[in-house]
Homo-oligomer: A and B are copies of this chain.
Amino acid sequence: MNVAIVAEYNPFHNGHLYHINKTKELTRASNIIAVMSGNFVQRGEPAFADKVTRTKMALKNGVDMVIELPVEYATGSADLFAFGAVDILNKSGIVDALSFGSELGEITPFSDVADILNNEPAEFKRIMMSLLETGVSYPAARAGAIKEYLDIDTQFLNSPNNILALEYIRALKSTASSIWPYTVKRKGDYSDEELAGEFVSAAAIRKALLNGEDDRVVEYIPKSVADIIENLSYIPTIDDYSASLHYIMRSCPVNRLSEIEDVTEGLENRIHNNISDKKITELINIIKTKRYTYTKLQRAILHIILNLRKCDIDRRGVGYIRVLGFRKSKENLLAELTHKASVPVITNVKAAPGLLEKEIRATDLYYMIINGDIGREYTNPIVIED
């Protein structure tokens, strides 16, 4: 039984460890395969540590193999993120189940909602249209229509992990996947702000690390992770790319930015007219609205910086499977993957630079902040842990 987990491990913490252990207990998995975002994450910012470092954290704490979620999916909106991950798992040919955390802790409600959203029955569409005509936003109209059509409380769809869970289920259904879903109920309330309780969120840990409060973090992360964090030289943030955004907004005809993924409805002009010499976080706080949330804007700005255009995202799915690392005792798993995958399996970027062009550029931009070298995507070795 090979069970997959989709993760960012940004950083790996006790909640992740609990999820892995609970997954093994629930599914009696023989192997845990993580699909992990690379150097940039779904909030639209650089990961706190590079993907090699985060792969090590995973392999030291119960994961047997780490596969990379390519940057255009890893930094995408929730539906694109989930679709990319599920598509990779489908194409791997070796995954039996997908285990994800959720605040809800059961599959059926997600499944019911996913069916409606994927199939859009006429009555559901009619309700949604009439709600839209009252002037509410698209997400609000959608939630209202689900509530009325299914006659259920849709409050649960506001929680961050439930949102992703729904998207995994939708992706499994829309790709007619043979992979079974499992969900592990999240423990604690995972405040983004506070370091308190049994588990805390990765965001709270990042915040403490950025404030230099490493000591306060140790009780929420495995010892092996703390040891790795201790050796990090710098934690990059989106503001480290402010000068790059200034350059882009002054060198590039502004209308060309509408080609960029997630740049819609004249967002390029709002950025152009407000950026001046501001930091990116300052800019976002000025231009954010109810409709254009902080994260949505950060994601769009990251795509501008990474030059990820709408046409760069292949809606048919991922064209390769890139292994970031595996446990030495699980070499057979790599062999099985290579044998059964329906797309090329990449363990050495040098062998397939064309396929990974977007990844190579993203990695060069990641190391621009923390290290001078260009070409690290070629020279960083695959991670093999005992």
Contact = CB atoms under 8 A, between A and B. Distances in A.
A368 B307 contact: no
Contact of A306 (B251, B277, B306, B357): B251
Contact of A276 (B248, B275, B357, B374): B374
Interface string A26-53: 0000000000000000000000000000
Nearest to A361: B251
Interface stretch (A85-93, A239-247, A337-345): A239-247
Contacts of A243: 243-244, 247
Query: A interface, how many residues as a size bin?
Result: 20 to 34
Chain A contact residues, majority secondary structure: helix
B374 A307 contact: no
Nearest to A276: B372
Nearest to A373: B276
A253 B357 contact: yes
A307 B253 CA distance: 11
Contacts of A313: none
Contacts of A246: 368
Nearest to A306: B251
A324 B277 CA distance: 26
Contacts of A248: 247
A80 B273 CA distance: 34
A152 interface: no
Contacts of A244: 243-244, 247, 251
Contact of A250 (B249, B277, B364): B364
A315 to B, nearest CB: 22
What are the 7 A-B residue pairs with the smallest beta carbon separation, nearest first?
A277-B372, A250-B364, A276-B372, A244-B247, A243-B243, A250-B365, A250-B368
